[in-house]
Chain A
Amino acid sequence: MYEIVEKYEEVPNVHRLVVREPNIAAKAQPGQFAILMADEQSERVPISIVDTKDDTFTMFILELGISSAKIVNMKEGDTLEAVTGPLGMPADLGKYGRVVLGGGCYGIGAIYPLARALKELGNEVVTIIEARSDYLLYFQEELKAVSDEFFVATSDGTEGTNGHVQDVLVKLIRDGERFDHAKFIGCTYMMMNCSHITSPYRIPTKVALNTIMLDGTGMCGCCRVSVEGETKFACVDGPEFDGHHVDWDELMKRKSSYLMEEMLAYQTAPHTCKALEKAYSGDSK
């Protein structure tokens, strides 16, 4: 059982979650993730590790379907059934020079340990984040503290550039900026778009793929991705891969393989979910 020591909704639908797990706290490296289970019948949910402190580690979780809903409906003091990690390969880190980082969704948080490590290695770090609207931006002060330059894009233009990370990126490159390395974390669509931008400029680009995962240890094969024509397991070979060589079409297709099950899971969900059941019975008020 793993205690939730801190949990609150940072902005609508982005939940900061701090969990006590000394092993992860001691060993996690930038770019690694953990797998969480809310209760004994939950799916296993892979979540990026953002920071560690003493015997705890921090994550940002967006509610998507039933499994993430169970987690975000838990409260401080509740316990997760299982937490495994750190999993995956640490991100490639080196002294590249000028590095651009892009984050969207949960990637705004997940990009943070990379920014900090790259900065510590002596790189110049340019960070760009995106959200639908200004009220959905979070973690900005922390990111600014580890970035040399910091940009924001919103889909509705309420803050920063009207558009996405890719739009800021295009503008910077057109304005003559040169980058020696790029990393993007966010929804698959955003990572694909950004990789398409950096490709013609030959900026080495890494993306953290969020394939569907089960065990997270290289056994089930459910996280298969094709990179440069080779089959890789995102959980053990990644999650970081070369964004210019990922087969994006296949990835998107594989990610939507279980739409029916994900939707039908809601029909019988409360059965298996203590947190939601509590919420339904009015206890949470």
Chain B
Amino acid sequence: MLVINGNQVPYEEGKTILEIARENDIYIPTLCAHERLPSFGACRMCMVKVHGNKGFMNACTTKVKDGMVVTTESLEIKRLRRSIFELILSEHPSSCMMCAQAEHCDKFNSGIMKAGVITGCNTCPNKETCELRKISDALNFKTIRFPMFYKHLPIERNDPFFDRDYNLCIHCGRCVRVCQDVEGASILVFTHRGHDTKVGTSFEKPHIETDCKFCGQCVDVCPTGALSARNQKWYETPDEQVSTTCLLCDKGCRFQIDVKWGRMVGMRPDPEYKTLETGICVKGRFCLPVLLNNMDRLRFPRIRRNFKLYPTNWDEAAAKVAEIFENYPPSKIALYISPFLIDEADYLFTKIASDLEITNIFRSKEDLTNINKKGIKVLYTTEGLPNLDKYKSLEKIILQEVFSADGHDFADVILPAAAFTEETGTITTNHGIMTVEKVVKAPDLALEDWKIVAKIAQELDLSGFKFIETSEIQGEMKRLGIKGKTRGVEEHYLKYRGTAIADKVPDFKILIEARKERDKLW
């Protein structure tokens, strides 16, 4: 047992005072401590009184002892915390926190929080989640007795993906720790000592010139707006937050996605998941929203008429595909199943193939050489079709894609597919089977891959395709003992289905072009 603020709480060996306090719903303000990082004891906000000891102890670094008596709140502690907090704020652009008009200003001056330079909360991308503001509220902070000091450090914005305004940095060291202890990258260090202490890369090089992975973990743990994702800046309170798994490689990173205006606007590692151990990468953290919000998405089914592709509805498009299937012998038809499909869609493709007795199922670019070998006449591809001119035998192309990938202009039918953030189902990753959740609605008429297959099956009068949800498909797969398998997409693969990510995400292009001489791009 130990005693906190006069109440007995259970003792647990090896835990810190802070951990025990949190488990017992006792609030201790903290700034540098982070539940998923080793403690560091830098900010001193968490000071508590341990009876029998002189002075105060850091709750975040002090381990509990059986029988310890701790006080977390007293007039003295409060005063001390206020002074420490005041010192922190005196070197932080904190005027909005002291402004009498702040509340109204917030309400009326919307939409002004995207600048690279941050001169107050009202221009800060961190505003909605700021830990300084939370503490300020808890301490009911209104004025500051120290002179304010603005550091006049240059804003670092010559890297892709993030802006860094170290004028806001409070030297909590979280970014340094996450980069070193979690990512094992050690890009960020304290570059000066004493009063000039600053966080940055060694020699203050741009991150793109270092081995920075652009994983964004530093941005995500920063309690202030010092580090921010440039393409995910201020969007007020999100309408919704949905967690899902990234399908861009087999790693299966989990993200929590902020949704606003029906779009993906912000990404962070899924707090419910041990992402800090598994890591995340630049493709998921920074590229996904840009990639999938893109205006170039395929939105309407199209069919070729008189040498031109015309937009149409799903009934006509599915009927057209059915007609093509009926006009060719199964041995001349091939399906190209992209590794970027969810397991349920993959299964429905194999199911329709077996019903139609189509045995040519391609799963990689190498398989495409079979087109010429076997004289394939109809290709139904879910991943574009590179080097189209090589395949002389093809007469009809059906393209089911998210973007107008290679081969689009020569297709006979275009079937716009939903991206994996627009459907619910399962994928098989290095961590086993994981779920993908519908985060946003697919653009216009774009439809989940499995629903498109089901529509075509219905046109062909095939039975066994009447599913309403992917859970029903999962049930069928389970009954038949069919399991998804990892798709063999390695972490540094640069495409999503048939489209190079860099074509749709300008910052990603900058990254891979700047580093094209390197073995590892990130």
Contacts and interface: CB of A to CB of B under 8 A. Distances in A.
Q: Bound pair: A and B?
A: yes
Nearest to B94: A156
Given A260-B263, A279-B158, A282-B206, A189 B293 contact: no
B384 interface: no
B506 A268 contact: yes
14 contacts: A13-B123, A62-B115, A63-B115, A64-B115, A136-B119, A155-B96, A155-B98, A157-B143, A189-B104, A192-B108, A260-B260, A260-B261, A262-B114, A279-B158
Contact of B109 (A156, A188, A269): A188
B108 A188 contact: yes
Contacts of A268: 290, 294-295, 506
Of the listed residues B93, B115, B152, B234, the one surrounded by the most CB atoms of chain A closer than 10 A to its CB is B115
Interface residues on B, range: 35 or more
B223 interface: no
Contact of B115 (A13, A163, A164, A267): A13
A155 B111 contact: no
A264 B109 contact: no
Given A155-B98, A164-B101, A282 B208 contact: yes
Nearest to B100: A163
DSSP class of B's interface residues: helix, strand, loop or mixed? Answer: loop
Contacts of A259: 110-111, 235-236, 261
A162 to B, nearest CB: 8
A163 B206 CA distance: 39
Lowest 5 CB-CB distances: which A-B pairs, in order?
A156-B95, A155-B99, A132-B95, A13-B117, A270-B506
Contacts of A280: 157-160, 507, 510
Interface of B: 93-96, 98-101, 104-105, 108-112, 114-117, 119-120, 123, 143-144, 147-148, 150, 152, 157-160, 167, 206, 208-209, 230-231, 233-236, 260-261, 263, 265, 289-290, 293-295, 506-507, 510, 514
Contacts of B236: 259
A16 to B, nearest CB: 15
Nearest to A276: B157
A252 B110 CA distance: 9
A282 B115 contact: no
Contacts of A43: none
A266 B233 contact: yes
Interface in A146-161: 154-158
Interface string A241-264: 000000000001001100110111
Nearest to A283: B158
A134 interface: yes
A271 interface: yes
Contacts of A134: 148
Contact of B114 (A65, A155, A260): A65
A264 B230 CA distance: 11
Contacts of A252: 108, 110
Nearest to B233: A266
Contacts of A260: 260-261, 263
A256 B109 CA distance: 9
Q: Which of A262, A264, A277 has the most CB of B within 10 A?
A: A264
A280 B507 CA distance: 8
Contact of B108 (A189, A264, A267, A282): A189
Interface size class of A (residues with CB under 8 A): 35 or more
A135 B429 CA distance: 52
A263 B148 contact: no
A266 B109 contact: no
A11 B52 CA distance: 51
Contact of A64 (B100, B112, B265, B507): B112
B510 A264 contact: no
Contacts of A193: 101
Interface of A is mostly: helix
Contacts of A63: 115-117
A27 interface: no
A153 to B, nearest CB: 11
Most buried by A among B99, B110, B123, B209: B99
Contacts, number: 135
Contacts of A155: 95-96, 98-101, 120
Interface string A113-153: 00000000000000000001111100000000000000000
Contacts of B261: 259-260
B293 A266 contact: no
A210 to B, nearest CB: 11
B117 A12 contact: yes
Contacts of A189: 101, 104-105, 108-109
A157 B100 CA distance: 11
Contact of A285 (B119, B158, B295, B506): B158
Contacts of B143: 157
A281 interface: yes
A197 interface: no
Contact of A12 (B119, B260, B265): B119
A269 B506 contact: yes
Contacts of B206: 282, 285
Given A63-B117, A189-B109, A263-B235, A282 B94 contact: no
Given A269-B506, A281-B158, A282-B514, 13 more contacts: A12-B119, A12-B150, A12-B152, A64-B115, A132-B93, A132-B99, A133-B120, A163-B101, A187-B109, A259-B236, A263-B114, A277-B510, A285-B206
B510 A156 contact: no
A284 interface: yes
Interface in A180-232: 187-189, 192-193
Contacts of A266: 114, 230-231, 233
A157 B145 CA distance: 10
Contacts of A263: 114, 233-235, 265
A176 to B, nearest CB: 24
Contacts of A236: none
Nearest to A263: B235
A270 B263 contact: no
Contacts of A267: 231, 289-290, 293
A281 B514 contact: yes
Contact of A281 (B95, B115, B148, B510): B510
A135 B101 contact: no
A40 B82 CA distance: 52
A264 B260 contact: no
Contact of A264 (B157, B234, B263): B263
Nearest to A265: B114
Nearest to A278: B158
Interface string A80-120: 00000000000000000000000000000000000000000
A69 interface: yes
Given A156-B99, A280-B510, A262 B158 contact: no
B147 A270 contact: no
B491 to A, nearest CB: 23
B121 to A, nearest CB: 10
Interface in A31-50: none
Nearest to B98: A156
Contacts of B105: 189
Given A63-B116, A187-B109, A135 B233 contact: no
B253 to A, nearest CB: 20
Nearest to B159: A280
B513 to A, nearest CB: 9
